[in-house]
Amino acid sequence: MQKRFLSTRKLATIALLLALHIVVTRFIAVETQIFRISFSFVPTSLCAMLFGPWIGAIFGFVADLLGMLVFPKGPYFPGFGLNEALYALTYGLFLFNKKKDFRHIFPCLILQTIIIDLGLSTLWLHLLYGNPIMLILSSRIVSAIVMLPVKYFGIKYTWKFVGSRFLKKK
């Protein structure tokens, strides 16, 4: 008998996390033109921690694309889909099949903050709206500092109370 790459249970879990990501991103977020404070990292990180970096990256891109198709907030810009894929990829690379502790979570978040939050997102917002990069960057730094501990504890305790239990049921 041939073993399937993704079981029905895995696909159902990914679909549930995808729906949760879209709802959290579109309805439970504080958002301005420059920054967004959201808990969308929870389903993204959980998917990448459970299924690996590549499934996580696909999840991140598809979540952004479906979110914009179902609940558009302006024109679609693929740079933010790339950001979501990179978030999930880094979660998977740093946390898949690894202990969810400070020495794995914190470097992941620092890398994301520098490259994605302060680098790519600032560039995408500059290209989209034409605001000066330093103006965008100054508000994004504040947002990143606020979100760093939120993400750290969110990931740590989501894994403790949800993710580790999922693996025990296999």
Residue 5 lies in a domain: no
Range of the domain at 128: 10-163
pTM here? Answer: 0.89
Instruction: Retrieve residue 165's tokens.
Output: 């239990």
Instruction: Retrieve residue 112's tokens.
Output: 């994301």
Residue 110 lies in a domain: yes
Residue 20 lies in a domain: yes
DSSP 8-class letter at 116: I
Residue 1 lies in a domain: no
Q: Which distant-in-sequence residues (6+ apart) come within 8 Å of 53 by Cβ?
A: 88, 89, 90, 91, 92, 93, 96
Which among 49, 50, 122, 133 has a CA at the least distance from the CA of 83? 122
Residue 65 lies in a domain: yes
Residue 2 lies in a domain: no
Residue-by-residue pLDDT tens, the chain, 170 positions:
456 667 888 999 999 999 999 999 888 877 776 567 789 999 999 999 999 999 999 999 999 999 999 988 888 899 999 999 999 999 999 999 999 999 999 999 999 999 999 999 999 999 998 989 999 998 889 889 989 999 999 999 999 888 767 765 55
Domain count, the chain: 1
Residue 156 lies in a domain: yes
Residue 138 lies in a domain: yes
Dist CA 133 CA 122 (whole Å): 7
Instruction: Retrieve residue 136's tokens.
Output: 């965008």
Give the domain CATH number at 123. Answer: 1.10.1760.20
